[in-house]
């Protein structure tokens, strides 16, 4: 029997637990890819390898529960480069929204044929552990939900509420072609209802998994956005991010939250995730719905982009995203809600959109011609620690909203905490390292970032995935080690 029971001992760190109220100085012992012991003064002779944590904060590996690998570039490329960016940000679990239709694999059809191709393409390419949320786009997909949970471990699904009659980047009259659904199919409120009923039917057949099977919704109202887009485009006094925000007004979000919540109540589906809430009206609507329907477990998400950027950003059309970047008063409201515990997790909504695709040179300065979405997973934890600390947010709270809460909701039962038996996923953070964001320093292939030039006061120095060092001092280390997350995990 080995006299060295630990594979790795990380000495001299300050351990950040998501459910604690303070930070503890100590050591972390790892064996077999799991945390084996967390305590001060662990004997170095018990470990095969000893690593000096240099007094850094040890956060549980980040669960970036909202990414879009493979949306604008081939999945086999994005899986490699964008998971490298994730590792740079302390992310160890990447959950990606995926669907049939244009972008992604540019294919329609049933998931029983589509999803195995996604898994085959992904295998051996992610530098972090990975999984997928899937969007049922038609009635065939609704009939596959139970199969997707049982056979493929897909425990979370999505509805894009505005897709039925409004385009991904703006107004559109060709949505059926975009969605690649049949002539007899409609992507509308009735479809959303039937998605909910299908998920709830599956939950009822799987009571042991039901608590971690959920539906996420992108809450914006197509009809209001289409009407306001026409109004704003005629108003020559408005331009850039301010115009795009006005074209997709805050009450469009709020109304969509009301509709989604009422349908959840009607279909008795209790696990609802309200994605990337961007405004005061959206958050207030979400809180109001939780009071009206207390039996529904609403979770509320916010992105680091909506917390760090506002409509005055110099990034202009490079920061175009759905829902839009908002005025400063909305940003401040989001921070107040986050600090008050009214928002459940923080994500990146990372969608690498390379510069030449984001906006061709001939359209520079034209917000309407830019594509929606941008990357940012590499700045998720350092930006939250930097800005959160300035605002009085505790480290334990940060760990809760970046790791524990999304892991619990999405069925990652071995992720999200630094505790014995959990996967040894870690982000070692220097909370006093001032640096300036530059796209040149990111392994992402995007080539720009709307966060360019922002000064942060914290930096991820090292990332460990299941006890293996995968990122250190600006470099991703080794071949891709990411494993597929069949959810709910054991």
Tokens encoding 476: 């991703």
The C-alpha atoms of residue 100 and residue 136 are separated, in whole angstroms, by 8
Q: Which of 312, 348, 350, 347 is nearest to 329 (CA)?
A: 312
Nearest-angstrom CA–CA distance, 486 and 406:
15
Give the pair of three-digit tokens for residue 433. 């390292």
Q: Where are the domains of the chain?
A: 6-52, 62-411+432-456
* CA–CA dist 267, 293 (Å, integer): 12
Start-to-end C-alpha separation, the chain: 28
The burial class, CB within 10 Å (0-12 / 13-18 / 19+), for 204 is: exposed
Contact between 178 and 101 under an 8 Å Cβ cutoff? The reply is yes
Q: Tell me the C-alpha to C-alpha distance, in Å, between residue 223 and each of 5, 160, 164, 239, 325.
A: 62, 14, 10, 21, 20
* Phi-psi map region of 233: left, alpha, beta (phi>0 left; psi -120 to 50 alpha): alpha
Q: Kindly give the confidence (pLDDT) of every residue in the chain, 490 residues in length, as a single tens digit, with 9 standing for 90 and above.
A: 458 999 999 999 999 999 999 999 999 999 999 999 999 999 999 999 999 999 999 999 999 999 999 999 999 999 999 999 999 999 999 999 999 998 899 999 999 999 999 999 999 999 999 999 999 999 999 999 999 999 999 999 999 998 766 656 565 556 667 788 888 888 899 999 999 999 999 999 999 999 999 999 999 999 999 999 999 999 999 999 999 999 999 999 999 999 999 999 999 999 999 999 999 999 999 999 999 999 999 999 999 999 999 999 999 999 999 999 999 999 999 999 999 999 999 999 999 999 889 988 888 889 999 999 999 999 999 999 999 999 999 999 999 999 999 999 999 999 999 999 999 999 999 999 999 999 999 999 999 999 999 999 999 999 999 999 999 999 999 999 999 999 999 8
Is 27 in a helix, a strand, or coil? strand
CATH for 62-411+432-456?
3.20.20.140
The three-point CA angle 63-28-3 to 5° equals 130
For residue 458, the 8-state DSSP code is: -
CATH number of 6-52: 2.30.40.10
Beta strand pairing status for 91-98 and 129-134? parallel
């Amino acid at each position: 029997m080995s006299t060295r029971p630990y594979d790795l001992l990380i000495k001299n760190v300050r351990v950040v637990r998501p459910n604690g109220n303070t930070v503890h100085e100590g050591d972390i012992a790892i064996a077999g890819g799991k945390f084996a012991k967390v305590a001060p003064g662990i004997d170095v002779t018990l470990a095969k390898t000893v690593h000096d944590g240099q007094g850094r904060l040890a956060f549980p590996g980040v669960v970036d529960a909202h990414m879009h690998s493979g949306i604008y570039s081939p999945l086999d490329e994005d899986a490699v480069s964008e998971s490298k960016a994730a590792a740079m940000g302390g992310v160890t679990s990447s959950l990606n929204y995926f669907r049939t239709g244009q972008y992604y694999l540019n294919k329609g059809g049933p998931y029983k044929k589509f999803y195995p191709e996604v898994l085959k393409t992904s295998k051996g390419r992610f530098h972090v552990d990975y999984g997928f949320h899937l969007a049922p786009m038609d009635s065939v997909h609704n009939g596959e939900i139970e199969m997707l949970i049982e056979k493929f471990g897909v425990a979370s699904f999505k509805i894009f509420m505005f897709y039925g009659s409004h385009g991904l980047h703006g107004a559109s009259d060709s949505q059926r072609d975009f969605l690649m659904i049949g002539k007899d199919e409609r992507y509308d409120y009735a479809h959303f209802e039937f998605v909910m009923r299908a998920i709830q039917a599956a939950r009822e057949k799987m009571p042991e998994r039901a608590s971690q099977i959920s539906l996420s919704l992108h809450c914006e109202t197509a009809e209001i956005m289409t009407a306001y887009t026409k109004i704003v485009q005629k108003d020559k006094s408005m331009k850039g991010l301010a115009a795009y925000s006005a074209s997709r007004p805050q009450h469009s979000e709020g109304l969509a939250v009301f509709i989604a919540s009422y349908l959840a109540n009607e279909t008795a589906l209790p696990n609802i995730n309200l994605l990337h809430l961007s405004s005061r009206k959206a958050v207030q609507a979400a809180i109001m719905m939780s009071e009206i329907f207390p039996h529904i477990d609403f979770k509320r998400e916010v992105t680091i982009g909506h917390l760090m950027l506002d409509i005055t950003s110099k990034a202009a059309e490079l920061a175009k995203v759905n829902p839009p970047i908002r005025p400063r008063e909305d940003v401040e409201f989001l921070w107040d809600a986050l600090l008050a515990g009214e928002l459940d997790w923080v994500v990146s909504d990372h969608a690498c959109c390379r510069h030449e695709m984001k906006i061709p040179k001939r359209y520079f300065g034209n917000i309407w011609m830019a594509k929606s979405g941008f990357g940012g997973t590499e700045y998720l934890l350092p930006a939250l620690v930097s800005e959160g600390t300035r605002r009085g947010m505790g480290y334990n709270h940060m760990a809760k909203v970046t790791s524990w809460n999304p892991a619990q909701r999405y069925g990652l039962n071995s992720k999200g905490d630094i505790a014995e038996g959990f996967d040894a996923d870690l982000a070692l953070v220097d909370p006093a390292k001032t640096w300036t964001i530059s796209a040149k320093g990111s392994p992402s292939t995007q080539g720009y970032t709307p966060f360019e030039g922002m000064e942060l006061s914290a930096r991820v120095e090292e990332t460990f995935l299941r006890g293996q060092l995968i990122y250190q001092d600006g470099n991703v280390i080794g071949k891709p080690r990411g494993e597929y997350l069949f959810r709910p995990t054991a």
